[in-house]
Structure 1
Amino acid sequence: MNIQHWSRQNRPLQRLLQQQQQWQRLQGYISQKLPRNLSAHCSVVCINDQGLLVVFAHNHLVAGRLKMLLPVHLTALQQLDSNIRGIEIKLRPVNQPKPKQIQRQFSTEALNSFDDAAEKVAHHTELAATLQRFASRRRKP
């Protein structure tokens, strides 16, 4: 599919493509000028209504270093895009996969001991019902 062909026929698409290319140029400049271990953990997002170049940092350490290093490059960034008046660093952590929940398996003897405990505390109906429910949910079908 040729997006360039479609963008000639569709003005909003053409503006979006131009905007995306401009942000890629800005991202490329930042990636080139910053240390690799730092530039890999940030991304150019947009130029907001106040003319601030918004850059997302993936963690606090990166955000702190960007706040120190990027202002030095402000004039060069302004030459790439005259709409830039300043730089704003925002924290946007990378989504980390949720840790696996370990499924605990109990032996038949352990589950039977829960049943026995439920019988012994039968006078505490809620506790007995909870123990029985716990054991019955963990029994293999």
Structure 2
Amino acid sequence: MSSQLFSHFGKKDQQLADLTAAAQAILTLDRAFKRLLPGRLAEQCQVACVRAGELVVFAHNSTVAARLRLLGNSVVAPLARQGYPLATLRVKVLPTPPRKPRQKSFALSDAGIDAFARAADEVRNPVVKDALKRLLRHHKG
């Protein structure tokens, strides 16, 4: 099978060409939208789609969503002036998948555990003593 550029496939299949054009339009709108946002807010959201004059944006968390909602018309109006058929902004929070618990990749040897136990018995500082005891409970557990 010969390797062809993705754009060549789009020319052969009309549905794929339509999908590619729609994706490019959303990416272009996303770039234009993010240029209007203050600070690092642009890194925390993305344009999802446009439905009946409504710009739908996904926010990475509820704080970002609240800031975007406050901006509302101040980002929609400039985009409308640029030729995008927009009237309102809808912000949705993307559910983030739960993080997988990290697997322990470090284990203390029995000699190491004994050394920390002796150190915990001899240390006078209560903060350090508690920290060493927590470390021991974690590695013995």
Same fold (TM over 0.5): yes
Q: Give the 3-state SS of the residue equivalent to 1:63 in structure 2.
A: helix
Residue aligning to 1:121: none
Measure how far apart 1:45 and its partner are: 0.6
Runs of at least 4 residues off by over 4 Å: none
Matched, 1:62 2:64: yes
Measure how far apart 1:94 and its partner are: 3.3
Q: Give the 3-state SS of the residue equivalent to 1:47 in structure 2.
A: strand
Q: RMSD across aligned C-alpha pairs, in angstroms?
A: 2.5
| CA distance in structure 1 between the aligned counterparts of 2:44 and 2:30, rounded to whole angstroms | 12
Measure how far apart 1:93 and its partner are: 3.5
TM-score w.r.t. length of structure 1: 0.62
Task: Give the greater-gyration-radius structure (CA).
Answer: 1
Measure how far apart 1:75 and its partner are: 2.4
Matched positions, count? 104
Matched, 1:26 2:40: no
TM-score w.r.t. length of structure 2: 0.62
Identity, % of aligned positions: 31
Instruction: Choose the corresponding residue for 1:17, options 12, 17, 20.
Output: 20
**Cα distance, 1:96–1:37 mapped onto 2, change above 3 Å:** farther
Measure how far apart 1:38 and its partner are: 0.8
Do the aligned partners of 2:55 and 2:89 also contact (CA within 8 Å) in 1?
yes
Matched, 1:75 2:77: yes
Instruction: Note the residue ranges of structure 1 that are not aligned, 5 or more in a row.
Output: 103-141
Query: Once the two structures are superposed, what CA deviation does each residue of 1:34-87 show, in whole Å capped at 9, x if it has no partner?
Result: 124211110111112x331110011111001001124212122223422x2321
Do the aligned partners of 1:57 and 1:93 also contact (CA within 8 Å) in 2?
no
